[in-house]
Amino acid sequence: MKGLELCDELVRRAKAKGADEAEVYYLRTRKLEAVFEKNDLQVPKGDTYEGIGVRVIRRARQGFAATNVLTDEAMGDTIAAALAIAAASPEDPNHVLPEPSEARPVPGIYDEMAESLALDDALELGRRFVEAARGYDSRVTIDSASFVVQIGERAVANSRGVLLSEKGSNFSCVGMGFAREGDDVSSFDVEYSGSCALADIDPEASGRRLAEKVVKALGATTIPSFKGTVIITPYAGGDLIAEPIAFSASAENVQNGRSRWKGKLGASVASALLTVTDDPRIPAGVGSTSFDREGVPPEPLEIIKGGVLGHYLYNCYTARKDGVRSNGRAIGNDQTTPGIGTTNLIVSPGATSLDEMVRNIPKGLIVNRFSGNLDPVSGDFSGVVKGGHYIENGEIVKPVKEVMIAGNIYELFAHIVAVSREVVTIGDMRLPYVQLEGVSVTGK
């Protein structure tokens, strides 16, 4: 593969220019995209990208530079720029590159179908999504939608002997829309489906789901304020549950004092109903990978098991600081230095069906989507509920508008009283419906 050879050669060039250690990350992508706006095709787009990122360590100082101009001269300049940054930076003994280890391929992350698709096919798949949504109900407007086919190759090499590459594909269908009847405009809603395998994407079903949600949100009324039960749907859970967990489990945030979970390994941080796993090895999973941004192979991690915090997420820098081995959670691309993040984040399903959950609620609110602000440091959140529905006496009675919810998510994790059996996959997240008690609901 070209990427691997280029990485290997540039690592040697960087060493020859004076780097003690060097890492080169390579990315090549081909992307086909059909963009729709206002129920109509906006533009078909094609992009071909190839770039490299060079990280050097010299006398315990790190430098990084990247370029997508792959001429010999530009790549030489990039190595020189990385070395110049290293020279101007302070020493930090925690800058370290990983030793090589075996990376087992994840099945299904490269669908060869992608190679044979053309812009015409992306147009057709996107059209099916939009028409399914519009066909469901004429009041539906697809404000924007896109169907994206992406194939690529990523490679990483370093001066310790890491030499890895992987091909991947990604198909995604995302739409945003609302329904309108006279002066009544529903909340915006979103529907996203993504996979490494084309067969997993059903544009018609996806379009109908979006249409169904926005039509249901028509005729929304205000409700009075209360403090009590809410059901966080998977889409709202991405912001309210997955994000704060990923944030507070990040070793970087633990080390810099921004995580509430510092010193909490082995301690209870949530209700026993909450189990959260980060699994990089799901076949065809959008977040699946056999090696991370630094070339470390990640394994599945139970971040929270039965409410107890099990693991932090590490890259090499933070692992060195804590005197442990990286668990392969470095994220980023050729244009960035390694950060920390999850792969496929999974909140384990519970024992209750969504129907049962609703039936057991005397008064409550279904939070379909959360549009607001969650401070992942303190856990305080407050924001508008989009496409929410009011529950009374075990029944969903009406859509609501101008309703805000507020609370502290870390405190509320202890007040999870039910988790649904149903799980929805949203890209690299798999989330059930989660019932929380003690949430402030501000109506009118």
Residues 201-220 binding another protein (CB under 8 A) are none
Cα distances from 415 to residues 229, 230, 272, 359, 434, in angstroms, run 10, 11, 10, 19, 10
Among 172, 268, 360, 382, binds another protein (CB under 8 A): 382
Say whether residue 397 binds another protein (CB under 8 A): no
How many whole angstroms separate alpha carbon 385 and alpha carbon 236?
9
How many whole angstroms separate alpha carbon 59 and alpha carbon 92?
9
Outline where DSSP puts E strands in 86-197. Answer: 140-158, 163-181, 184-185, 189-195
Nearest to 176 by CA among 5, 387, 332: 387
Amino acid type, 123: L
Say whether residue 337 binds another protein (CB under 8 A): yes
Give, as ranges, the residues between 60 and 89 that touch another protein (CB under 8 A).
Answer: 62-70, 74, 78, 81-82, 84-85, 87-89
How many whole angstroms separate alpha carbon 442 and alpha carbon 444?
7
Among 119, 198, 308, 396, binds another protein (CB under 8 A): 119
Say whether residue 181 binds another protein (CB under 8 A): no
Least separation in angstroms between CB 310 and another protein: 21
Residue 39-58 contact track with another protein, rule CB under 8 A, x = bound: xxxxxxxxxxxxx-------
Say whether residue 12 binds another protein (CB under 8 A): no
Say whether residue 172 binds another protein (CB under 8 A): no
Residue 406 is encoded by which pair of tokens?
């507020």
Least separation in angstroms between CB 13 and another protein: 17
Say whether residue 243 binds another protein (CB under 8 A): no
Among 12, 17, 180, 398, binds another protein (CB under 8 A): 180
Between 70 and 414, name the residue whose CB sits nearer to another protein: 70
Q: Is 36 in contact with 207 (CB distance < 8 Å)? A: no
| Tally: H helices and E strands in the chain | 11, 22
Give, as ranges, the residues between 423 and 442 that touch another protein (CB under 8 A).
Answer: 440, 442
Among 257, 266, 323, 393, binds another protein (CB under 8 A): 257
Give, as ranges, the residues between 266 and 305 that touch another protein (CB under 8 A).
Answer: none
Cα distances from 64 to residues 53, 74, 85, 333, in angstroms, run 7, 14, 7, 12
Pick the stretch among 7-15, 249-257, 351-359, 415-423 that binds another protein (CB under 8 A).
Answer: 249-257
Other C-beta atoms closer than 10 Å to the C-beta of 322 total 13
Between 103 and 374, name the residue whose CB sits nearer to another protein: 374
Q: Rg of the chain's alpha carbons, rounded to an integer?
A: 24
How many whole angstroms separate alpha carbon 370 and alpha carbon 382?
9
Residue 237 is encoded by which pair of tokens?
């859970």
Least separation in angstroms between CB 4 and another protein: 20
Among 2, 38, 59, 104, binds another protein (CB under 8 A): 38
Between 71 and 393, name the residue whose CB sits nearer to another protein: 71
Say whether residue 115 binds another protein (CB under 8 A): no
Give, as ranges, the residues between 128 and 147 that touch another protein (CB under 8 A).
Answer: 141, 143-144
Q: Is 418 in contact with 428 (CB distance < 8 Å)? A: no
Among 209, 260, 293, 320, binds another protein (CB under 8 A): 260
How many whole angstroms separate alpha carbon 317 and alpha carbon 327?
11
Say whether residue 221 binds another protein (CB under 8 A): no
How many whole angstroms separate alpha carbon 9 and alpha carbon 70?
13
Between 104 and 444, name the residue whose CB sits nearer to another protein: 444
Say whether residue 354 binds another protein (CB under 8 A): no
Among 60, 384, 396, 423, binds another protein (CB under 8 A): 384
